[in-house]
Structure 1
C-alpha cells in the first residue's frame, strides 16, 4: 500500500494496552531501538508499565540491546490518538473481551494514519470477529505473542476475512526483521496453534489433579525434566519422528499407532469445581515455596536467557 513504511525503516511503534503482554511488547520494542508511544486507560498504567520495563531490562541488556536503545524512548500518552498519530506500526494488547476488542480496534483504526498496519495480541479471538466494527479492517492483523513477549520469540500471524494479504506479509517481514520467530497461519483457528496445544495439555493436567492421579508439582516436573527439554529444539513432531528409530515417523505410526485408541487422554475440560480450583492453587503455591511472583519472574527470565544462549538464538553466542 502506498505510504506504508518499509519494515526496516520503522522508527516509532504504538503499544495500546500496557498490562503484562502490552508491557512486554513495550520492553521488546524499546530494546530494539524504537521510540514507543504507549496508551492505557488505567489511572496507574504508566507506573505499572515503567516498573515492568525496568524489570525486563536486565535480561534484554544481557541478550544485547540495539544501538541507541533506551528506556527513555518511552512516552506514555493521555490520549489514544496521541499514541498512534505518529506510529509506523501499532500493537494492541487489551484484555481478552470481544466487545472491548471490537470497540478499541475500531477506535485505533479511526485514529491511526491509513497506511499503518495494526496488530492485535489476542490469544484466542479471530480478526474477522474482532474487526467487525472497523472501517479499515484490511490493515488489521493478529500478531499473537507469548509471555513474556520480550523473551519468547514466537508470534503467530493471521489475517481476518477482510485483511489484505499485503498487511499480513508486511507484519511477517517486520516481526522477522526485529528478531521474532513468525508462524503465518493459512486460516483463522480459534486459539491459533500453540494455544490449542497448550490448552490440550492444560486440560489433561486438570483432569489428573481432579482425579488425584498427579500433583501440580509432579505435572510440572514431568514436562520440565522430560519432553520439555526436547520440545525446546525439536518439538513434538520431530520428537516422535526420532522415536521411530531409523524408520522415522512412518515406523513410529505403524508401531505405536494402535495406542492412539488407548484412553491416555481426556480432552473434554473437567468441571472447574471449588475443590479442583483449590487443589490446583494449593499445589501450585506449594511448588512455589518461599518464592514470590517477582522471584519467579526473575528466575524464569534468567533461565530463558540461558536456554536461548544454549540454543544459539543469541547473536554471537557459541
Structure 2
C-alpha cells in the first residue's frame, strides 16, 4: 500500500491532515474547488512546520510532496487512504463520499472527518465498497494532536477497521475505535457538555469567558491532560479510590448543578461570548494564537509521552 494521503476539502481540518502526512514523509494529493485553496494550504503548512520540526520529522518529510489536482477522481487515484473534509452537511457528505467510493481503489480506506454524523448515514449512497467508508474524526490541530476516533457503520467489517487502524498509526496517530456508532462519537459529546454549561455561566452572568477558561486552564484541564476524567476522580477517592469517591460524592450528582440543555443563542449572549474572546485574544491574530498553542502542545505532548511511555500509539513521533 502506497504512503499517499488524498485529501478532499482543505479547510482547517483538511489542511491539518495535509501537514501531518507531509511531516510523516507521505505524498499528499489534494482537491478543493476553491481557487484560493492552494495558496491557503501552503501558508497553513508553512505556519505549522516549525512545530512539526520540533516534534521530529520522518525521513523524507517535505512540504514539496504536496500536489493539488483539478478533480476529485484525480485526487483519489492510487491512494491507500483518503480523507474527506467537506462542510458538515449530510447531503453534501453523502454526495462526495459516493463519488470517492466510485473512483477509489477497492482496498482504499475512506475516512470522513465528520464530528457528528454516524457512518451508516454517510455510507447510504456508496455502491462500490461502502463498508470501507468510516468516520475518522481528528482533533484540531490535526498535525499535532494524535487522537483519531474510528467508527464503522452497519456494513463495515472488522477487517476494514483493523486496516484503518494500521493506516492511521502509520500517520503517527492514536486510533480510538468507538464501539457503537452514535452522533458526536465520544470526545465531542464530552466537549459539548462542558461547552453548554460554559454558555449558561456566561449567559447568567456568573462568569466571563476569560474566567471560565481560567477555571479550566489552571484547574481541571491540567489534570485532564494527564489522567482524563475517570482516573482523576479515582484519585479523588483517596486510598480507597473510585469506590469511595462514588460513595462520598455520588449523591451530589443528583443535585441540579448543571444544565444539560444549551441556552438560546440570543444576540446578547453571542455579543458577550464574542467580546470576551476578543478581549482574551488581546489583538493577537489567529495565526499568532495558533503558533502559541502549537508551541505549548509540543511541550505538553513531550510531557504526556514522558509520564505515559507505555500508552499505545504514543511512542516516537505523535
**Shorter-chain TM-score: which interval?**
over 0.9
Contact 2:123 2:131 in 1 (8 A): no
DSSP-derived class of the 1:270 partner: coil
TM alignment of 1:229-248, pairs within 5 A = 229-248=222-241
Please tell me whether residue 263 in structure 1 is matched to residue 256 in structure 2: yes
Which residue in the other structure is 2:309 paired with? none
Which residue in the other structure is 1:300 paired with? 293
Distance in 2, matches of 1:203 and 1:237, equals 21
Which residue in the other structure is 1:71 paired with? 63
DSSP-derived class of the 2:5 partner: strand
Which of 48, 64, 67 is residue 40 of structure 2 equivalent to?
48
Distance in 2, matches of 1:32 and 1:301, equals 17
Deviations 1:200-226 (A, max 9, x none): 000000000000001000000000110
Q: Whose relative contact order is higher, 1 or 2, with alpha carbons under 8 Å and at least 6 apart?
A: 2
Deviations 1:60-102 (A, max 9, x none): 1111111111001000001111111111111111111111100
Which residue in the other structure is 1:35 paired with? 27
TM-score, normalised to structure 2, is 0.95
With over 3 angstroms needed to count, the CA separation of the structure-2 counterparts of 1:179 and 1:76, relative to structure 1, is same
Number of equivalent positions: 309
With over 3 angstroms needed to count, the CA separation of the structure-2 counterparts of 1:316 and 1:17, relative to structure 1, is closer
Structure 1: tracts of 5 or more residues without a match = none
With over 3 angstroms needed to count, the CA separation of the structure-2 counterparts of 1:217 and 1:162, relative to structure 1, is same
Contact 1:140 1:167 in 2 (8 A): no
Post-superposition shift, 1:131? 1.2
Post-superposition shift, 1:164? 2.1
Distance in 1, matches of 2:81 and 2:315, equals 25
Distance in 1, matches of 2:254 and 2:157, equals 42
- Aligned alpha-carbon RMSD (Å): 1.3
Distance in 2, matches of 1:186 and 1:310, equals 29
Please tell me whether residue 146 in structure 1 is matched to residue 139 in structure 2: yes
Distance in 2, matches of 1:272 and 1:178, equals 38
Contact 1:151 1:301 in 2 (8 A): yes
Post-superposition shift, 1:316? 7.0
Which residue in the other structure is 1:156 paired with? 149
DSSP-derived class of the 1:157 partner: strand
Which residue in the other structure is 2:184 paired with? 191
Which residue in the other structure is 2:85 paired with? 93
DSSP-derived class of the 2:269 partner: helix
TM-score, normalised to structure 1, is 0.95
Which residue in the other structure is 1:16 paired with? 8
Distance in 1, matches of 2:227 and 2:302, equals 16
Distance in 2, matches of 1:27 and 1:198, equals 25
Distance in 1, matches of 2:64 and 2:316, equals 27
Distance in 2, matches of 1:316 and 1:158, equals 25
Structure 2: tracts of 5 or more residues without a match = 307-313
Deviations 1:211-250 (A, max 9, x none): 0001000000000110100101100100000000011000
Post-superposition shift, 1:315? 6.1
Please tell me whether residue 227 in structure 1 is matched to residue 211 in structure 2: no
Contact 1:138 1:167 in 2 (8 A): yes
DSSP-derived class of the 1:233 partner: helix
Greater Cα offset, 177-186 or 249-258: 177-186
Post-superposition shift, 1:292? 1.4
Distance in 2, matches of 1:144 and 1:63, equals 22
Please tell me whether residue 133 in structure 1 is matched to residue 125 in structure 2: yes
Please tell me whether residue 202 in structure 1 is matched to residue 195 in structure 2: yes
Post-superposition shift, 1:312? 2.3
Distance in 2, matches of 1:45 and 1:163, equals 32
Distance in 2, matches of 1:187 and 1:17, equals 27
